[in-house]
Structures are given as C-alpha cells and as structure tokens.
Amino acid sequence: MNDRPNNRLGFDHRARLLIALPIGVYLLSYVYLAAYHQRLWLFGTVVHEGGTLTLLQTIFYASHLLGHLPSLTVIALLFAGTSLMLLRAESHWPMSPPVLAAILAVFLALASWMAFAVFGREDTLAFLTQTKQGVAIYAEGGSWNLHLPSTMLLFAGAPVYLFLVAGILKIPLRPSRHGALLVLAAAALSVVFTALFNTDPVGAVVTAWTNPRYLAHSVRELATFSLTYFPLPLALLSFGAPADRLPQRESRRLLVWVAVLFCAAAAALAYQCYIPLTVGIGELAQKPPFARTGALGVPYLLASHNFEHVLDTIYFTLVTLLLWSTAPRRRDAAL
C-alpha cells in the first residue's frame, strides 16, 4: 500500500494522527476546565493560574509569547536540526521559504501590537527584557531562566522523542549530518542567552536545576512540548515518507546512541519530578481565588497551561517549518 499523498497538500495517516494529537489535547483541556468551573462557555472566565486572565486572554497572551522568543527559537533550532539528522523526509512543501518568512513576520508584528495594546507597555517590556516570568512573578533572567531546565533536557530528549515517534508511526529513520549546524546553533545561543540575561550565568544554571519551582515548571513544559508543539511541524515533515528500514549495522549504531540519550534524559526528568514532589506541587503553584481548597491540582495546571502556549506553538511551528524549508533535501550523508 502506498502512503504517499496524491497531491501537494495531501496528508497520509501519520500526518493526520500527529495533527489530531494537539487538537485532542486542547479539547480535553477545555472539557476539564469546563467541568472544574462548572460552565460550558469559558472564554470570559478567569482560568489562568495567576488568577487574572480569562481563557481568551490566556490564549492570546502576546506579551508572554514575546518573553518566550529566545527559548522558542533555541528549541525550534534544536528540533529542526535533530529531525533533519534522524529522519528521512520527502515532504511536498506547500509554501516557499519567502512565504513562510513573510507569514512569520506578520505574525510577530500582530503579536507585538497585541502585547502593547492589550497587555500594556510595562508587562510587554518586562517580558521582552527577561525580568518577568509570569503574571506577577519577576526574576532576573525572566522566561529564559525559567525554561533553562526544559531547554537543556531537550538536547538529550528531542532525539529520543523523534526516535520513538518515528517507530510508532513508521516514519523512516535515516541518520545524517544534515541539521548538525542547527543543533550547534541552538547550543551556542543557549550559552549566549544565559550570559546575556544574567549577571551570574553559572549561578543562574545552578538555580534553574535546584529551584523546585523551576523544575516543576520544566516538567510541565516538556509535557506541553511533546503533546502540542512538536506534532504539528512533524506532521508536515512525515507525510509521504516511504516506510523503508535502515541497514542492520546502521540501525544498531543509532539504537546505541538513542539508548544513551534516553538514560540521560530519563535520569534528568526523574530528578526534575522528584525535587518538586518533596516540596509539594500545591505549595509551588500559584493560588488564585477560584482554586478549590485553596490550591490547584496537577490536572488543572496542565490544562490551563496548554492554552497559555497557543501563540508560542504557532511561532515554534512557523520557525521550524522555515528552517526545514531552507535545509538541503539530500539524506545520503550517513553518520
């Protein structure tokens, strides 16, 4: 059976499953929030854990997006580079790089206008200058520091994620050197941003990996990335790819590398889960007036958090597609 699409905009079953995943996550999140607040229409209801933003404001939290641009750009570079290094892709690109760049520019212009017009100058500049982490949380390094644990873990976790998804959906693996420069760029930018946004960069990294709030936030980010960020661009990369297999020797080498990265990522994730649990998630989370028993549970924190990153997901997808669309298509330079 041939899974290749019949036209340039067609999708095979793999792409449909990948697109269905974030849609399903958003639907389930909405249903959970509706049940929690006991109302069907939520867009005018305060749902953000900070206790001030309605669902509509949370979805279009543009100043929050601007504060996340450094982290999102690094993750897009990492994800695009890693996928180019691991996956054999024969996608039919529906848009050229200039068109994608134009769409990205318009999106950022609209987001910037919305940030200043709706959320205000102080809020927007605080996010942009990396001095703000949330609705009422200010700290040096801002959103960049808050995302350091999840960003760093993804250098080991992204290859494992792609390997597992490729195995489940039968996306062909074809290790190559394509994309290595993007991964190196992501690593270099991580160092640059950490130094740029902190007076003590080393201390900032230590704090990020020892502060229970940062670590709990990292686990939540990783769940959001896996379920809503990564599937969308991967759907376009995967459709139409033939279901062939790696040579046995090449397959063993790749499996060894993935196993090593899996152990590293699993150990780091276990640590990031353990430290917050010793303190208590309820003690770390914000306590809005609408919270039952005075604290929000993990399901609520995950559900509302998904909507906080809708604009982030759009930016990540556009940047990743732009990086892929300008990358070489040849996959014969095996590692």
Nearest to 158 by CA among 78, 92, 94: 78
Rounded Cα–Cα distance for residues 91 and 84 (Å): 12
pLDDT digits (tens, 9 = 90+) for 222-274: 999 999 999 999 887 765 555 555 555 567 788 899 999 999 999 999 999 99
DSSP calls for 79-132: HHHHHHHHB------SS-HHHHHHHHHHHHHHHHHHIIIII-HHHHHHHHTT-B
Secondary structure, 3-state, 15-46: HHHHHHHHHHHHHHHHHHHHHHHCCCCCCCCE
How buried is 11 (Cβ within 10 angstroms: 0-12 exposed, 13-18 middle, 19+ buried)?
middle
Question: Which of 85-99, 100-114, 164-178, 292-306 comes out lowest in average pLDDT?
Answer: 85-99
Q: Which two tokens stand for residue 272?
A: 């990031």
pLDDT digits (tens, 9 = 90+) for 6-64: 444 445 788 889 999 999 999 999 999 999 999 999 999 999 988 899 999 999 999 99
Q: Six-digit token pair at 44?
A: 């005018």
Structure tokens at 270: 């276990």
Q: Which residue has the tokens 């290595």?
A: 180
Q: Is the pLDDT of residue 1 over 50?
A: no
Instruction: Return the higher-pLDDT residue of 314 and 280.
Output: 314
Q: Answer for the pair 68, 147: CB distance below 8 angstroms, yes or no.
A: yes
